[in-house]
Amino acid sequence: MSSSYGGYGHQSQYAPSAPQQPPYSSYYQTSTSNVPPPSNSSSSYNYANVSSSGSSSFPPGTPQDVITSFQMVDRDRSGFIDERELQQALSSGFHRFNLSTIRLLMFLFKNPHQPLAVGPKEFAALWSCLGQWRGIFERYDKDRSGKIDPLELRDALYGIGYAVPGSVLQLLLSKYGDGSGRRVELCFDSFVECGMIIKGLTDKFKEKDTRYTGSATLSYDAFMTMVLPFLVSYD
Amino acid sequence: MSSSYGGYGHQSQYAPSAPQQPPYSSYYQTSTSNVPPPSNSSSSYNYANVSSSGSSSFPPGTPQDVITSFQMVDRDRSGFIDERELQQALSSGFHRFNLSTIRLLMFLFKNPHQPLAVGPKEFAALWSCLGQWRGIFERYDKDRSGKIDPLELRDALYGIGYAVPGSVLQLLLSKYGDGSGRRVELCFDSFVECGMIIKGLTDKFKEKDTRYTGSATLSYDAFMTMVLPFLVSYD
- Tens of pLDDT along chain A (235 residues)? 333 222 222 332 222 222 223 333 344 555 444 555 676 333 333 333 333 344 468 999 999 999 999 999 998 888 999 888 999 999 988 888 888 788 888 888 887 777 778 999 999 999 999 999 999 999 999 888 899 999 999 999 999 999 999 999 988 887 776 655 567 889 998 899 899 999 999 999 999 999 999 999 999 999 999 999 888 654 4
Task: Spell out the residues 6+ positions from residue A207 whose beta carbon is closer than 8 angstroms to its own.
Answer: none
Residue B225 to residue A190, Cβ atoms within 8 A? no
A78 touches chain B (CB under 8 A): no
Task: Look up residue A215 and give its DSSP letter.
Answer: E
What SS3 state is found at B23? coil
Helix axis angle for A120-140 and A64-73, nearest 10°, is: 120
Instruction: Report which residue type is found at A96.
Output: R
- Go through A4-15 and write b for each residue having 16 or more CB atoms within 10 A of its CB, e for each that does not: ebeebeebeebb
Query: 3-state SS of chain B: helix, strand, coil percent to 5?
Result: 50, 5, 45
A47 touches chain B (CB under 8 A): no
Nearest to A29 by CA among A211, A235, A217: A211
B116 touches chain A (CB under 8 A): yes
- Go through A62-100 and write b for each residue having 16 or more CB atoms within 10 A of its CB, e for each that does not: beeebbebbeebbeeeebbbbbebbbebbeeebbebbeb
Cβ-Cβ contacts under 8 Å, A190 against chain B: 233, 235
Residue A227 to residue B227, Cβ atoms within 8 A? yes
C-alpha–C-alpha distance, residues A48 and A60, integer Å: 21
Instruction: Report which residue type is found at B74.
Output: D
Cβ-Cβ contacts under 8 Å, A174 against chain B: 115
Task: Spell out the residues 6+ positions from residue A151 whose beta carbon is closer than 8 angstroms to its own.
Answer: A1, A3, A5, A7, A8
**Nearest CB to A175; choose among B202, B218, B231:** B231
- Give the ipTM of the model, two decimals please: 0.75
Residue A83 to residue B179, Cβ atoms within 8 A? yes
Neighbours of B134 (CB within 10 A): 17
Task: Spell out the residues 6+ positions from residue A117 whose beta carbon is closer than 8 angstroms to its own.
Answer: A80, A81, A82, A111
Nearest CA in chain B to A166: B221
Query: Exposed, middle or buried: residue A42 (CB in 10 Å: 0-12, 13-18, 19+)?
Result: middle
C-alpha–C-alpha distance, residues A99 and A193, integer Å: 11
C-alpha–C-alpha distance, residues A29 and A67, integer Å: 35
Tell me the nearest-neighbour CA distance from A201 into chain B, angstroms.
Answer: 8
Nearest to A188 by CA among A234, A140, A123, A124: A140
Query: Cα B5 to the chain's mean position, in Å?
Result: 22
C-alpha–C-alpha distance, residues B186 and B151, integer Å: 11
Q: Which fold has domain A34-230?
A: Recoverin; domain 1 (1.10.238)
Torsion of CA B108, B205, A195, B176, to 10 degrees: 70
User: In a structure prediction context, what are the per-residue pLDDT tens digits for chain B, which is 235 residues long?
Assistant: 333 222 222 332 222 222 223 333 344 555 444 555 676 333 333 333 333 344 468 999 999 999 999 999 998 888 999 888 999 999 988 888 888 788 888 888 887 777 778 999 999 999 999 999 999 999 999 888 899 999 999 999 999 999 999 999 988 887 776 655 567 889 998 899 899 999 999 999 999 999 999 999 999 999 999 999 888 654 4
Tell me the nearest-neighbour CA distance from B181 into chain A, angstroms.
Answer: 7
Residue A220 to residue B28, Cβ atoms within 8 A? yes
Q: Over the stretch B45-101, which tens digit does the pLDDT of each residue have? A: 333 333 334 446 899 999 999 999 999 999 888 899 988 899 999 998 888 888 878
A190 touches chain B (CB under 8 A): yes
Per CATH, the number for B44-134 is 1.10.238
